[in-house]
Homo-oligomer: A and B are copies of this chain.
Amino acid sequence: MSFGIIATWRMALEGVEKAAKMLKDGSSAGDALENAIMAVEDYPFYKSVGYGGLPNENGEVELDAAFMDGDTLSIGAVGGIRDFKNPISIARHLSRERFNIFLVGIGAEEYAHKNGFERKNMLTERAKKIWDKRIREIREQNLSPYDGHDTVGMVCLDKNSSMAAGTSTSGLFMKKRGRVGDSPLSGSGFYVDSQIGGAVATGLGEDIMKGCLSYETVKLIERGLSPQEAAEKSVYELTQKLLQRRGKSGEISVVCMDNKGRWGVGTNVEFSFVVSCEDDNVPKVYLANPHGSKTLYSQASQQWLEEYLKRITSPIV
């Protein structure tokens, strides 16, 4: 049987490496995916997910995450949760409940507390510095505060043909307190059905939820499109619709995988993603770009990868 994992953004790489090993050793899609997203949440230099994630306009780090089991369609999600180490694990725990599977704010924190999840102040010194700098820039240059909204999202297929999907994010930088994006919303930020495939989205959540992008992508796969065709069609049709109806469209990207391990990517902006497939089981970072109604991609160069690492660790001035 095939197995594999696809994930949004370069930041997923270390997590995908972990998941790829687990999948090869026979782990379930859910276990591999949870561990992969935990690795991203734990890494302090990724400024849009978990520890080190950027704060909202009040200076608080509020996190969103979701988990979906493609066999049972079980979903768990949290929105605007503060001070817990691994939102993805709380979301997965919630997916085992029948009722109250999506909890937000203080309610999500109470649930995590009562179920023994690890507390952690998720604000790093670096994130605080970036926040301080942004506040200055907004004041001095009259900029729109909203900028940056990179969600880590993954779709995973294991050797038993089970699938899982998950997302984790600190959301839109400088968001209002309590703002929830697409990431914890079924069908918008994620969707997976082990009998078809799964998809996860990243970009401006406010626009992604106007087209239920992940659900749409999975339904296109069900109707016979290849994952690549499905990802392109769903992203560009939504982008076009937003342009026609609203005069503008936010940044939108989706990655998907079907239940044979075939994968696809669609994006209306430059976008990096990570794939590990059975073929060689070595995770690779790709760079994708829109080109008319197609999304073209190629492996990221060594230079790009080095510059990425330099950029995310460079001092904040």
A: which residues have CB within 8 A of B?
71-75, 79-80, 98-108, 110-111, 146, 172, 175-181, 185-188, 191, 204, 206, 209-212, 215-216, 219, 241-242, 245-246
Contact = CB atoms under 8 A, between A and B. Distances in A.
Nearest to A238: B73
Given A186-B188, A245-B71, A176 B111 contact: yes
A205 to B, nearest CB: 8
A33 B179 CA distance: 25
Contacts of A211: 73
Contacts of A176: 99-100, 103, 107, 110-111
Contacts of A102: 179-181, 206, 209
Contacts of A105: 80, 104-107, 178
A146 B206 CA distance: 31
A146 B191 CA distance: 26
Nearest to A206: B101
Contact of A185 (B71, B185, B241, B245): B185
Given A73-B241, A100-B206, A105-B105, 20 more contacts: A72-B245, A75-B206, A98-B206, A99-B146, A99-B176, A99-B204, A101-B206, A102-B179, A102-B180, A102-B206, A103-B176, A103-B178, A103-B179, A103-B180, A104-B178, A110-B176, A186-B187, A187-B187, A187-B209, A212-B212
Contacts of A99: 146, 172, 175-176, 179, 204, 206
Contacts of A74: 210, 246
Contacts of A146: 99
Nearest to A223: B223
Nearest to A108: B178
A18 B13 CA distance: 56
Nearest to A250: B98
A57 to B, nearest CB: 9
Contact of A100 (B104, B106, B107, B172): B172
Contacts of A72: 245-246
Nearest to A214: B212
9 contacts: A72-B246, A75-B209, A100-B172, A102-B179, A106-B177, A107-B178, A187-B188, A187-B212, A215-B216
A186 B212 contact: yes
A46 to B, nearest CB: 22
Given A73-B245, A98-B206, A209-B102, A180 B215 contact: no
A145 to B, nearest CB: 8
A222 B209 CA distance: 18
A262 B186 CA distance: 28
Contacts of A104: 79-80, 104-105, 178, 180
